[in-house]
Amino acid sequence: MNGPLLEVHDLVAGYHRDLPIVDGASLSVSASEMVVLLGPNGAGKSTLMKAICGLVLVMGGAIRLDGRDLAGVPTHAAIAAGIGYVPQVQNVFVTLTVEENLRAGGFGTTPQVTRERIAEAYARFPLLAEKRRQLGGALSGGQRQVLAIARALMTQPRLLLLDEPSAGLAPKAAQEVFAAVRGISAGGVGVLMVEQNVKAGLAASDRGIVLVQGRPVLVDKAEALARDPRLTRAFLGERVA
């Protein structure tokens, strides 16, 4: 199929019908593309991701994956359609082992397929193979993010949504996570990633989107956006678009 993998058009979404948080958002992500979603605290970045995977109310607009409208579908249908999601917090089971976490991510497939995909996860992230019998709660922050991403890949998504994968990580661990994500996108997966770390997030990505009050106000190639003086102004709450 030509055209972008994900197309969001005029999306209105939130937690209450009469209080839109995402308010007229349009954006796209292509296969093999890594797009970073930036914006001040409370801009609606996490809510936008939750809307794409059916976790909040969608009051208007369209969410299309390969042309198929997913607006308002339940989460299991969004996942079945090819969306993988790593939430901002509590994204691994701390009382389950690494391997059990991966198995949980493969829920809904056959045990045989789950075994194959766990083997693929270990081949991609040898660190997880080493730690397979350790509890999720015993991993470092960076290792947990890798586990959370590997778990989301268990359903072989075409679009991966990552909410602040570098939060709380030292710069080196953050770079390792970004490198892993780049590898995933190079393999054909479209990635939409929320980041607080503007500079590192843009450096890792192809394109950037700045969301303010539930709406994209700047959209550009990552390199251009990194040099755009309006970037800081948007974060400071000034009107830029």
Ligand X SMILES: Nc1ncnc2c1ncn2[C@@H]1O[C@H](COP(=O)(O)OP(=O)(O)OP(=O)(O)O)[C@@H](O)[C@H]1O
Q: Which of 5, 8, 12, 21 binds ligand X (CB under 6 A)?
A: 21
Nearer to ligand X, 134 or 196 (CB): 196
Instruction: Give me the least distance between CB of 164 and Mg ion, in Å please.
Output: 6
Instruction: Give me the least distance between CB of 21 and ligand X, in Å please.
Output: 4
Nearer to Mg ion, 46 or 185 (CB): 46
Nearer to ligand X, 181 or 212 (CB): 212
Q: Which of 11, 25, 34, 46 binds ligand X (CB under 6 A)?
A: 46
Q: Does 166 bind ligand X (CB under 6 A)?
A: no
Per-residue binder mask for Mg ion (CB under 5 A), 34-53, x = binder: -----------xx-------
Picked from ligand X, Mg ion, none, the partner binding residue 47 (CB below 5 to 8 A depending on kind) is: ligand X
Q: Does 237 bind ligand X (CB under 6 A)?
A: no
Q: How far apart are CA 113 and CA 40, in angstroms?
A: 41
Q: Footprint of ligand X on this chain (CB under 6 A)?
A: 15, 21, 39, 41-47, 88
Q: Which residues bind Mg ion (CB under 5 A)?
A: 45-46, 88
